[in-house]
Structure 1
Amino acid sequence: MTEPVEAPVGHASPRALARQRRRHSAVRFWKQYRTHRAGVLGLAVLVLFALLALTAPLTVGSDVQSVTEAPGQPLESPSGAFPLGTDRFGRSLLGLLIWGARVSLLVGLLAAVLSVAIGAFIGITAGHFRGRYATVIMRITDWFLVMPTLVLAIALATVMSRSLGTIVLAIGVTTWPTTARLVRAQTLAVESRPYIERAKALGGGHWHIMSRHVLPNVMPLVLAQTTLIISSAILAEATLAFLGLGDPTVVSWGGLLQDAREAGAVSAGDWWYLVPPGIAIAVVALAFTLCGRAVESVLNPRLGVAR
């Protein structure tokens, strides 16, 4: 039997070279990202909120959601025992705010991923196949663009069961048209390049062209679009929950605002019931927007030149 021939020293395998290129790309991306102070600030805020959400079971515990075991009196103003006061059931608003971050961030992330996935699929296929398919699918996209997104989301959330899955689905299937338009334009630009024609001449099929050549070139746009849509998804989740279309069994920032409205916090002047959830929603949405703009600027050098 012949002994296996070892690879020459100094010659890495294709997989090792690919991993090395990815590491270099990640390092280069981070070096460029760090030059955007607003993006770094937004990332720091998101990391802080993510840590609070992940450690909520340890820091505040799941008992904070219990109505029957509330430690305080209803609608207590901020004090040493309750830094942000209590809700109408006597629960600590600080604990509810931290626990609600888990739901709001999760729903925003999942809804954004679903929206971008739908938009990317429709944009790539419409840019690749063109013809009658592209005409029909883009007319449907135009219809979704002119329709108010919030109205469509409310309609879907109304006819379906009240759950987090319904909120994710309602937001995801109504916010994809913008991504589809952007990805289709990028797909058309990619498919006009000479190496696409060579791939077709060598026998590359539709799936090969879209997955191996088009998708890697539109992924930077998809990534930037995801970070931008998450902020809109969080605002949409808060709006649906405020309108009473969310899951009543879970705590979210929008649900806290809805509870405050039902408790009459606006007319009673109980500002501690309204202000903290509203500020949390605004800060997280702004942080995601800052990160999205920074990512978009790094991945698209022409934006940096324009600045």
Structure 2
Amino acid sequence: MISSSVPMRGSVWRGKVATGALRVGRTLWSTPSGRAAVVIVGAFLLIAALAPMIATYGPLERVRGEQGGLARLLPPSAAHPFGTTNFGRDVFSQVVWGTRRTLTIAGIAALATALIGLNVGLIAGYLGGKVDAVLMRLADSAYAIPFLPLALVLVGIFGRSDTVLVLAIAALFWRTTARVVRSQVLSLKERSFVKAAIVSGASRRRVLYVHIAPNVASLAILYGMLLVAEAVLAEASLSFLGMAPPNTVSWGTIMFDAFTSQEMRRAWWWPLFPGLAIMLFVFALSLLGRAHESLQRRRLETLP
């Protein structure tokens, strides 16, 4: 932790983050694809926040038909826009509730991964030498470990839980963020404003976290966006393989239930809509990431 004796550190971070956020917002809104991506991601976040108000049924509630029996495998209609499952559950309500769980897990996992990658990249790039070599070899090792087998091992040891899903994602996906941040730090530490801070007697922590870190934070945000997309796909993959906690609903568990029911050919709507939600959300995040990347490149070119 950085010492609290550093004056105005909080204001420096807040000012740079606020300025960066304003630039990001303007850049994303300056192109049609950026505006479309912001609207799509915003819509998903709104659905997740207002899930109890939007969903017409509970995620595991069994719907009764007009005759009193379960509304099993009904195709999309006005009453059930996304159809129903073999247990009479409303797929629309499940997709809405699943949005909240999927985005929550993906957001937490992406945040943890981005923070790990940011700090590893900062330390490796600035200190260099043996520290850099050790940390980069750890990143290489993370690339060499396959994700799904690691997740299976963690689930086998600790059981099925959301915490295990987050740990499985964060344990490996920090590697790319760390490498990219390190490459930027190697360049930034040779800039005049960093050398001036060193000459003025600033400590390593102050140079690293006050002068360098704010200038690569937006890059970490960029890869954080991309990590959310990867985390959504990872969570869906693990849930589809049956590693989600029991009695939970996410986009991946809906598709898992459809597959294990052996009704996918007849009830085509069951896996279709959660699959479309995954595709649309990941596509929107990729558009946001590209727009943010172009902003970061232009900003780094203007540094002294």
Query: TM-score w.r.t. structure 2 length?
Result: 0.87
The CA deviation at 1:133 is 1.7
Say if 1:23 and 1:161 are closer, same or farther in 2 by CA, change over 3 A. Answer: closer
Name the CA distance, whole Å, in 1 between partners of 2:16 and 2:138. Answer: 40
Is the 8 Å Cα contact of residues 221 and 296 (structure 1) preserved in structure 2?
Answer: yes
1:237 aligns with 2:235: yes
Say if 1:269 and 1:15 are closer, same or farther in 2 by CA, change over 3 A. Answer: closer
Is the 8 Å Cα contact of residues 54 and 96 (structure 2) preserved in structure 1?
Answer: no
Is the 8 Å Cα contact of residues 12 and 210 (structure 2) preserved in structure 1?
Answer: no
Name the CA distance, whole Å, in 2 between partners of 1:203 and 1:281. Answer: 50
Per the alignment, residue 31 of structure 2 pairs with 36
Per the alignment, residue 106 of structure 1 pairs with 104
Per the alignment, residue 58 of structure 2 pairs with 64
User: 1:24-58 deviations in whole A, cap 9, x for unaligned?
Assistant: 65544433322222121111111111111111112
Q: 2:287 aligns with which of 290, 294, 302?
A: 290
Per the alignment, residue 54 of structure 1 pairs with 49
Is the 8 Å Cα contact of residues 152 and 174 (structure 1) preserved in structure 2?
Answer: no
Choose 245-254 or 198-207, whichever is displaced more: 198-207
Choose 279-288 or 73-82, whichever is displaced more: 73-82
Is the 8 Å Cα contact of residues 40 and 291 (structure 1) preserved in structure 2?
Answer: no
Is the 8 Å Cα contact of residues 253 and 277 (structure 1) preserved in structure 2?
Answer: yes
Name the CA distance, whole Å, in 2 between partners of 1:283 and 1:20. Answer: 33
The CA deviation at 1:99 is 0.8
The CA deviation at 1:23 is 6.1
Say if 1:298 and 1:257 are closer, same or farther in 2 by CA, change over 3 A. Answer: same
Say if 1:140 and 1:24 are closer, same or farther in 2 by CA, change over 3 A. Answer: closer
Name the CA distance, whole Å, in 2 between partners of 1:164 and 1:111. Answer: 10
User: 1:111-148 deviations in whole A, cap 9, x for unaligned?
Assistant: 11111111111111111221212111111111111332
Unaligned runs of 5+ in 1: 1-13
Unaligned runs of 5+ in 2: 1-8, 65-69
**Which amino acid is 1:64 matched to?**
G
Per the alignment, residue 122 of structure 1 pairs with 120
Say if 1:24 and 1:204 are closer, same or farther in 2 by CA, change over 3 A. Answer: closer
Is the 8 Å Cα contact of residues 100 and 253 (structure 1) preserved in structure 2?
Answer: yes
Structure 1 residues 1-307: aligned runs within 5 Å: 26-60=21-55, 64-67=58-61, 69-71=62-64, 72-266=70-264, 268-301=265-298
Say if 1:120 and 1:24 are closer, same or farther in 2 by CA, change over 3 A. Answer: closer
Per the alignment, residue 5 of structure 2 pairs with none
Is the 8 Å Cα contact of residues 265 and 274 (structure 1) preserved in structure 2?
Answer: no
Say if 1:114 and 1:97 are closer, same or farther in 2 by CA, change over 3 A. Answer: same
Structure (1 or 2) with the larger CA radius of gyration: 1
The CA deviation at 1:223 is 1.0
Task: Indicate the SS of the match to 2:173.
Answer: coil
Say if 1:26 and 1:77 are closer, same or farther in 2 by CA, change over 3 A. Answer: closer
Name the CA distance, whole Å, in 2 between partners of 1:222 and 1:108. Answer: 16
User: 1:58-85 deviations in whole A, cap 9, x for unaligned?
Assistant: 2226x51234x43342222222321211
